[in-house]
A = this chain, B = another copy of it.
Amino acid sequence: MSDATPTIGKLAIIGGGLIGSSVALAARHSGAASEIVIADTGADNLAKARALGLADSYHSTATEAVGGADLVILAVPVGAMTTVATDIAPGLKAGAIVSDVGSVKNSVLKSVGPLVPAGVHFIPGHPVAGTEQSGPEAGFASLFDGRWCILTPPEDADPAALGTLSAFWTKLGSKVDIMTADHHDLVLAITSHVPHLIAYNIVGTANDLETVTRSEVIKYSAGGFRDFTRIAASDPTMWRDVFLNNKDAVLEMLGRFSEDLTALQRAIRWGDGDALFDLFTHTRDIRKRIIDAGQDDDTPDFGRPHDS
């Protein structure tokens, strides 16, 4: 298939938030689909999507949007997947591919899978990309460039459908990996879910102190705290659903985090400088490897503006 040929005929995106709108823009930009439709049950979101010209048509119900679609991407919070899947099931055409962009895969596989009619291919997916912003205006076409998209096909997935979905994400700029839903959930628990949880947590702790005022927290946030506030500004509904739906893996990784933190706390209490120095030296290396792998930029301070 040449780059000029769309990989998909009609693409239906259910949910016009940050990810859904970025999929629309990236699909248009790359020519990955010949027709793009968006459904959003929020009238406000739908009006914004329309004003931004994200798609060829706009629908207030998912059911209406999926008719004749070759690829349906569910871009709603994980907790809303079952409702949406129930709504679209009767309207899906035979041979269509249904996928999603949820940050948790096992619960989607188990809850959505049984709702997808025979003859329709269901392959969950997760583009590991995003910003702390939400809504249709937050989307941009290059969001997936160089980022990984993880697909977690059921064991009996159709190889041709898997190939089509992989090619779609590759066209959008992603690198594609395939793994089980269980493994995905464990990997993301440590690379995304627990980091978000501890960011939310420290911002909450700082918010609640009697001895340090909120205005002091804000004034002196450049000491490190402000970094955490970025991801703690992420969409509350999406993240509530992540934690409710990836409970086991999150609790497992959180247990390890807390165990390690207790050891650090003990090292501080007993003045064990060598233990602290050793850890702080090891952690430096990982950042270098992330930059070498193209997963972050090497400009200091995330490239925050510095005049000279």
Contacts of A273 in B (CB 8 A): 79, 240-241, 244
A300 within 8 A of B: yes
How many copies of this chain? Answer: 2
Contacts of A36 in B (CB 8 A): none
Write the chain B residue with the least CB distance to A225. Answer: B191
Q: A145-B307, A282-B207, A295-B219 are in contact. Are A287 and B202 (CB under 8 A)?
A: no
Write the chain B residue with the least CB distance to A289. Answer: B218
B295:A226 contact, CB within 8 angstroms: yes
Chain A interface residue count, Cβ-Cβ cutoff 8 angstroms: 116
Write the chain B residue with the least CB distance to A235. Answer: B280
Shortest distance between the CB of A112 and any CB in chain B (Å): 19
B225:A195 contact, CB within 8 angstroms: yes
A281 within 8 A of B: yes
A131 within 8 A of B: yes
A308 within 8 A of B: yes
Interface residues of A in 254-271 (CB under 8 A from B): 254, 256-258, 260-262, 264-265, 267-269, 271
A290:B221 contact, CB within 8 angstroms: yes
- Report the stretch among A47-55, A93-101, A154-162, A208-216 that lies at the interface: A208-216
> Per a CB cutoff under 8 Å, which of B103, B142, B223, B295 touches A306?
B142
B192:A225 contact, CB within 8 angstroms: yes
- Report the stretch among A66-74, A80-88, A245-253 that lies at the interface: A245-253
Interface of A is mostly: helix
A56 within 8 A of B: no
A219–B174 Cα distance when bound, in Å, is 12
- Report the stretch among A6-14, A37-45, A163-171, A182-190 that lies at the interface: A182-190
A200–B286 Cα distance when bound, in Å, is 11
Q: A140-B308, A201-B257, A261-B201 are in contact. Are A239 and B276 (CB under 8 A)?
A: yes
Write the chain B residue with the least CB distance to A150. Answer: B220
* Contact digits for A278-299, partner B, Cβ 8 Å, 1 yes 0 no: 0111111011111001011100
Contacts of A216 in B (CB 8 A): 187, 191
* Contact digits for A132-146, partner B, Cβ 8 Å, 1 yes 0 no: 110000101111010
A203 within 8 A of B: yes
Contacts of A128 in B (CB 8 A): 220, 222-223
> Per a CB cutoff under 8 Å, which of B209, B225, B290, B302 touches A302?
B302
List chain A positions with a Cβ less than 8 A from chain B.
Answer: 25, 29, 79, 103, 128-133, 138, 140-143, 145, 147-148, 150, 177, 186-188, 190-209, 211-212, 214, 216-234, 236-237, 239-241, 243-244, 247, 250-251, 253-254, 256-258, 260-262, 264-265, 267-269, 271, 273, 276-277, 279-284, 286-290, 293, 295-297, 300-308
